[in-house]
Amino acid sequence: MSRRQLPPLTALRAFEAAARHLNFERAGEELAVTASAIGQQVRALESWLRRPLFTRLPSKGVALTALGERYATTISGLLDQLDEATAQAMRPDASTALTVSTMPSFALSWLIPRLGSLKERHPELEVRISISAHLTDFGREDVDVAIRFGQGVYPGLRSDLLMEEHFFPVCSAALLGNPQRPLREPSDLRHHTLLHEAAESIPGYITWPRWLAMAGVDGVDSAQGPRFSHTFLALQAAASGQGVALATSVLIGDYQDAGRLVRPFPHQVRSPYQYYLVCPEASAERPAIAAFRNWIRNEAKAHNERH
């Protein structure tokens, strides 16, 4: 293997901080050194590269060159990875603490009801659930594993497919059996209030307009009806008889088993996204993470067999 050509790490840290702040003084405050020291390290790096990274402005400020912008973006990502790898290396392998990040609806409808099973199987694990709607940045957040709703392409991460998802209408049993407002087939939805999850910002997410189009249903006003920020809120409204919601094979929770929600007809639409368990490759075999991964994969397998 050829010898790596790597500049001094101190110079890289100084340059990356200066590039983020576009100010040597603020970069120095972040790294607990003087602005002069930052300037010296940046000049040393420019000398090592034989290329300018900053343009010195008449106002005593600085601006990145085109090369500096590209280099700063790459170096920032590499330092984040180095920070994550170092944090993982410093964490004792025997640590039983585990932080799991997931979406609100998945946590409430699927994960939390099963944590008793995890405790029985692994009483030594100390699990903390972190609720978040955004993608986890393992390099910046104190998270060990995350459950993501996507298409499984996560470079640099260990990714386990947990469950696929299908969308179907559900309602309270009280809405069925009324001849004046039938609900026996998808076209009958025109007689009922549609309960929406406000998820238009997720590309391709199955909302009522998409579901009706994919199911080949015409004549239903897909814009009418109240909107809710999370799936579990729409399901609660449906269970109380306020209308028809879109449930999923994953997030239906115990509503269907308990008889609080029923499927008026069998039509369903497959989601373009699935549920994945992800974690950094460097920590995937840490005992606590490996135990959680094995447990949740078994729980997901059992769920898939029932649904």
Q: Is the pLDDT of residue 167 over 90?
A: yes
Give the global pTM: 0.66
How confident is the model at residue 1, as a pLDDT? 46
Range from 10-24, 133-147, 255-269, 286-300 carrying the lowest mean pLDDT: 133-147
Token pair for 137: 């940045």
Torsion angle of C-alpha atoms 108, 111, 115, 121, degrees rounded to 10 = 170
- The set of residues, in sequence order, having a beta carbon less than 8 Å from that of 178 and lying 6+ positions away, is none
Determine the average pLDDT of the residues in 60-77: 89
Q: Nearest CA to 246 among 100, 261, 4, 259?
A: 261
> Given this model, what pLDDT does residue 88 score?
64
Rounded Cα distance between 250 and 206, Å, is: 14
Confidence at residue 5, expressed as pLDDT on a 0 to 100 scale: 81
